[in-house]
Amino acid sequence: MPVSKIYARRLAVLASSATLTLTGLLTTAPAAQAAMPTPVSAATARTYLAALTVKAEGSTSGYSRDLFPHWITQSGTCNTRETVLKRDGVNVVTDSSCAATSGSWYSPYDGATWTLASDLDIDHMVPLAEAWRSGANTWTTAQRQAFANDLTRPQLIAVTDNVNQAKGDLDPAKWLPSVTSYRCTYTRAWVQVKYYYNLSVDSAEKSALQSVLNGC
C-alpha cells in the first residue's frame, strides 16, 4: 500500500479517536457491526468439520478469478459488492447507480471503522482460489458464480481492504483475523461454507480449525 495512503489512514484514525474522546464516546461499542449471516454454532461446526473430506490441497493450475463471475446484479442497479456494503454498514447512502456515497463500516477482522466505501473489500470467507484447490475446479461456471456471490451463507463480508489483501487465498492454518475474539465466528463460517459446498480440507487446515473451535 502507498505510504501516502497509510499516512492518511493514520491521520483519519487519530482524528476519529480525538473526536470520540471529546464527545465521551470512546468506550462505546462500534457503531457499525458487519451483518454477515450468523454462522452455525461451534458444536455444529465441529460436526460439519468431522464430515469434511480431508485430502492434500490441489493446485491452482487453470485457476482464474474470471471463472467465478462476480459481482453480479442482485436487485435493480445493485451488484453483490454494493449489496454487501449496504448490508454491513450503518447509515449507508447510495446514489442512483447504487454506489455507496457515505456511511460507516466496522471491519471485525482488525477492529477498524471506515467511512469511505473505497477502504473496504468484500472478502470471500473461503477464497476463490482456495475453493478451486478444494474442489471448485470441477464445478460449472454457474456453480462458481453462485459461490462467488452467495449472500445466504456467511461467505461475504465487508472488511478493511489491505487486511483482505493480506489474507489473500490463505486458509486458517496460515491466516486468522488479528482480532482474536472474532476467530470463533470466522472458523464457524469457514466450516459452514466448506460443508455446504462439499469442499475438502487439508490436514493442517483441519487442525487449525479444530484448535479454534475447541476453544469456542
Tens-of-pLDDT digits for all 216 residues of the chain? Answer: 443 443 344 334 334 333 333 322 332 334 445 589 999 999 999 999 999 999 999 999 999 999 999 999 999 999 999 999 999 999 999 999 999 999 999 999 999 999 999 999 999 999 999 999 999 999 999 999 999 999 999 999 999 999 999 999 999 999 999 999 999 999 999 999 999 999 999 999 999 999 999 999
Ranges assigned E (strand) in 6-124 = 73-75, 78-79, 89-94, 100-107, 112-114, 120-124
pTM of this prediction?
0.84
Please tell me whether residue 114 adopts helix, strand or coil conformation. Answer: strand
**Residue 152 pLDDT:** 97
CA dihedral 160, 72, 101, 123 (to 10 degrees): -10
Q: Which helix (H) or strand (E) holds 197?
A: none
**Residue 35 pLDDT:** 82
